[in-house]
Amino acid sequence: MPALVVGILLMSEYIGAKSTVGTAQAAFESGFAASWSVIGAAIGFPLFGLMLVRRIYSTGKITISGAIAEKYSNTTKNIISVIMIYALLLVNVDNYVSGAAAISTIL
> How high is the pLDDT of residue 41?
76
Q: Which amino acid is at 52?
A: L
Tell me which residue of 97, 103, 1 sits closest to 49, measured CA to CA.
1
| Interacting residues of 26 by C-beta distance below 8 A, sequence separation 6+ | 34
From CA 40, how far away is CA 90, in angstroms rounded? 16
pLDDT in tens, the chain (107 residues): 777 777 777 776 666 656 666 666 667 777 777 677 778 877 887 888 888 878 888 888 888 888 888 888 889 889 988 998 888 887 777 777 777 777 887 88
> How high is the pLDDT of residue 16?
61
Calculated CA dihedral for residues 89, 14, 98, 32, nearest 10 degrees: 120
From CA 12, how far away is CA 94, in angstroms rounded? 15
